Amino acid sequence: MPLENTSLQTHPVGEPNFPAPSRTPAWPVDTPGGRYYAEFDHSTPTTREGQLIFFAQFLKAGERWAHFLKSCPLTYSGNRGSAIVDVIGTIFLSILCGHWRYAHINAVRGDLLNPALLGMNKTVSEDTVRDAFKKMDEPEALNWLSEELQDSLAPVLSHQWILDVDCTVKPIYGHQEGAAIGYNPHKPGRPSHTYHSYFMANTRLCLGVEVHDGKQNAGKHGMPGLWSILEKFPRTHWPTFVRGDCGYGNEVILHEAEERGLPYLFKLRQTKLVQKLIIKMLQRTSQWVDAGDGWEVIEAELQLSGWTRKRRVVLVREVPAVAPVSGNGRRKKDVFFEGLKGSELWSETPAPWSGKIAVLVTSLNEVAFPALCMARLYRERGDAENVYDELKNQWGWGGYTSKRLGPCRIAALLVAVVYNWWHMYVRMHDANRHREAITSRPALLGGTARLLRHSGQRTVRVSLQHDKSDVIEAGILKVSRFLHEFEAIAEEWTRQQRWGVLLTYVLRRWLGGKWLWELPPNAQALLSG
């Protein structure tokens, strides 16, 4: 009797009968290091993303995955439709691995271990995912994803925060809906989509994104989406102020923000009237105040021809003699003067000044926000450019492109959801700094794992192939044990309470010791420990 049949008959009653291993016979392989024997194993569940089990533990502790699937508007009729968890789970795994095309989904279809961690029965094909995006009602799908973004950030918004708004261009290489020739600085003449995005400053968390055609790149096209998001929250959850570049410093946006009582800090294009103000202010040499880091500021009032009222402006100029320089002797790039060229950002003013000057318009209170702090406040907006770089180049934002614009919008929001989840999880390991996906995924997601079954117990054996595997292992053990203890304590808590406590721990450095909401019983002891 074959050995396989004998082993199956020896299982006691009640223990599952797992199928016999499926392996090809081993054959000799001669290498420069000597002779080895190789074989293919098609039955043992194995994965390259071996540490997903710990990320899944985080999603389970915060009840984010279950709530996300419960609200999904995707439905199938009949018996041949795929399960919702299989479709959403497949695209989730693809995004988490850094993919940006539907064809890349095939790379996760051979994974037999990770899908089960998310409650999936199987992975589905790229065509199934693409058809699912087309099948979903676009307004319902966008509302579903937007609510997930906002619900996951709602506890944090009760504290003071700054809103960064910006727009980026996604070049299109095909015949997609909405592909239009608009502003495209890197590939002029190339059709594109525009992504209007909203971020929480200093946390690098995404609050929302809207995808428009290439011609709708002006800031005013993204503001209706922003107002719709903010109006869902009480005024106590609104930002301290909104911040943006020169694309937002126009009468339409300024007037809308003033009507809603939302303070703002934007940069102005250097039109003729703005340049006249610059020349006038340069003559007041004794009134310029040192703002540190090689910058000087002066405050004034300005009313442009298209404006309905006078507004507060702050001029910021570089002092070449004390401006910071890099190691090669060149001046460091600054957010004031990056991106556009010519008078839209700065101009070389006539004598007696030959440095760079930027003009900011703001409605912030002069007492709480004096001119001295304006240069620093606006320069910190440059961190939003880092978020764009990470989302576009490391998370495939703008990927999963299809001929219809609706699925592109759904994919962009879904990438933002996964990005936020992963970013929060990484913050559990390192609260002091942001770890981009190019380094955090190899460290906290990569590694070979194999599923072992014995006596009805399932064990995932992870092997790390990282230079700092000892540090990673210690961090994983600490976080996983915290989540295990959290699950034991939070058994009777509501979903909002569980997520509020987790966010308090995730953003502990940003909160500076403050608590999110009223903590449930035993939560303070858990966080203090």
Q: 32-71 pLDDT, tens per residue?
A: 988 888 888 777 888 999 999 999 999 999 999 999 999 9
pLDDT at 153 over 70: yes
pLDDT at 330 over 80: no
Contact 284, 298 (CB under 8 A): yes
Q: What is the distance between the alpha carbons of residues 306 and 277, in angstroms, rounded to a whole number?
A: 16
Residue range 217-245: mean pLDDT, rounded: 94
Confidence band, pLDDT 50/70/90 cuts, at residue 515: confident
Q: To the nearest whole number, what is the mean pLDDT of the chain?
A: 86
pLDDT value of residue 345: 35
Confidence band, pLDDT 50/70/90 cuts, at residue 79: confident
Q: Which residues pair with 463 in a beta bridge?
A: 448
Give the three-state DSSP class for 268: coil
Spatial CB neighbours of 338, under 8 Å, sequence gap ≥ 6? 345, 382, 385
Q: What are the tens digits of pLDDT across the range 262-305?
A: 999 999 998 999 999 999 998 888 899 998 888 899 999 999 99
pLDDT value of residue 6: 37
Please compute, for residue 220, the number of CA atoms within 13 A of its CA located in the half-sphere on the CB side.
Answer: 9
Q: What share of the chain in percent tops pLDDT 90?
A: 56
pLDDT value of residue 322: 55
Domain boundaries, the chain: 3-38, 142-393
Give the largest CA-CA distance in the chain. Answer: 101
Which two three-digit tokens encode residue 269?
Answer: 């294009």
pLDDT value of residue 339: 37
Confidence band, pLDDT 50/70/90 cuts, at residue 400: very high
Look at the domain 142-393 and name its fold: Transposase Inhibitor Protein From Tn5; Chain A, domain 1 (3.90.350)
Residue range 191-218: mean pLDDT, rounded: 93
Confidence band, pLDDT 50/70/90 cuts, at residue 22: low
